[in-house]
Structure 1
Amino acid sequence: MSNLNKLDFSALEVFGRNYLKWVQDVKLHLIVKNLHPAIEDKMDNLVGEAKKANAMIFIRRHIHDALQTEYLANEDPRALWVALVDRFDHQKDIFLLEARHDWQYLCFQDVKSVNEYNSKVC
């Protein structure tokens, strides 16, 4: 019985701080379980109700309780997936800009002057 409550990885937090890691984990697990067609956007992709239900159970099990309640009306795993992407996917842009800024700042820390930095880069 204790295995029923055990998560495969950490659940998606309410504010989506762990969204980027979570989305990769979900995709990989759905691929392994052969449930990934339930969240893909392909018109010719006919997914059975059992696979949709399994994918929905898996995704809901791995999101915070508050998010489960908020998206309770979503019965289709694709619709839930799109709703979560719309809500949290902007983080890629935020983290990319932050990473670029941090990288530039770190590069300047290794040199004593801007001229020395420019000579190393060029």
Structure 2
Amino acid sequence: MAVNAWLSLLVAGVMETGWAIGLKYTEGFSRLVPSVITIALMAGSFYFLSKSLSDLPIGTAYAVWTGIGAVGTVILGMYLFGESRDLLRILCLLLIISGIVGLKMVSAD
């Protein structure tokens, strides 16, 4: 069922955001607990991405997965690490989000 595939893809994207942020905390995989959590999130992200591929085209799923991860990582980077919140940066995020929504809208369910 396509709904479950999209839900799996959403979970995969959120987990991708988690492992991308986790990399910052691993300090080059020299800290045990953040490293274990980051690796678990990586594995979970790939697992849920692979589950979504049973019903979704690979190109769409991969683009949406990376888009969710990119947007989530940038937003958390702003919040957690004080990264730039410039208007142009926000507009670029909105372009990525519009691409994700567009791919969802044109993908056959």
TM-score by length of 2: 0.31
- The answer to which structure has the higher helix fraction is 2
Name the TM-score, length of structure 1 as normaliser. 0.29
Q: Which has the higher contact order (CA 8 A, sep 6+)?
A: 2
